[in-house]
Amino acid sequence: MIKIGLFPLNIILFPESIYPLHIFEDRYKHLINDCYNGNLEFGINYINSSGINDIGCTALVQQVLKKYSDGKMDIIVQGVSRYRLLNFNEREKPYYIAEIEPFADEDYGRDEKLLEEAIRLFNKIADGITSLKIDKINMNDIKVQYPSFLIAQKVGLTPEQKQFLLAIRSENARLEHISKHLRKIQPLIKRAEIISNIIKNDGYLQNETL
């Protein structure tokens, strides 16, 4: 059984993605300090009105940007790998300790044509937004293991849609799902809220490999 510190949040962290966090609760100050000092991974699970979703992603603290006098912190974390949450408690530490099991893809193949199609659709939408410059995706610049997760950061998915994508255990199925989403929003691309959802990158920092 694998045990890790748990940080329930109203965000979805994807493997290989980078995310900024402001840490202010005492229990999570302890968690981040323990993990940063010990180079340990902790888990992020999406929490909403229905509770904590069971599929999450482990994270590593990449950088502590700022420490405040009261112990609050601004940090950068990077997603590592997915897992299934089995249970959690707060008896061992000041923060939640979770028991998890790995949640890897069942299909490890990747159809390059599906990736090319998802990129083509994204770039077409980027070209269609004239109010702001949106960097297009270059197929040759992608160096990551799971392009679907990085493209998903840029396409204006809702938290529930991102959680659904996180739980898909096939890169090809995720790419197909993203392409379906892009086809659906393409006719609506002139609507301000669609543009906003895409250009803000859902709060994620840009990754230099995509």
| Tokens of residue 80, six digits | 């590592």
**Residue 202: predicted pLDDT:** 47
**CA proximity to 46, closest of 154, 162, 169, 174:** 162
What distance in Å separates the CA atoms of residue 61 and residue 31, rounded to the nearest whole number? 11
Give the C-alpha separation, 57 to 49, whole Å: 20
Which domains, ranges and CATH numbers included, belong to the chain?
2-102 (2.30.130.40), 112-203 (no CATH)
pLDDT at 23: 97
Which of 181, 192, 128, 135 has the alpha carbon at shortest distance from 155?
Answer: 181
pTM: predicted TM-score of the whole model, two decimal places = 0.88
CA distance 182 to 14: 19
Per-residue pLDDT tens, the chain, 210 aa: give them.
799 999 999 999 999 999 999 999 999 999 999 999 999 999 999 999 999 999 999 999 999 999 999 999 999 999 999 999 999 998 889 999 999 999 999 988 899 999 999 999 999 888 877 777 778 889 988 889 999 998 998 888 889 999 999 999 999 999 999 999 999 888 877 665 556 555 555 434 433 333
Paired residues of 8 in beta bridges: 45
71 — alpha (psi -120 to 50), left (phi > 0) or beta? left
Q: What would the two tokens of residue 67 be? A: 């420490």
Burial category of 12 from C-beta neighbours within 10 Å (exposed 0-12, middle 13-18, buried 19 and up): buried
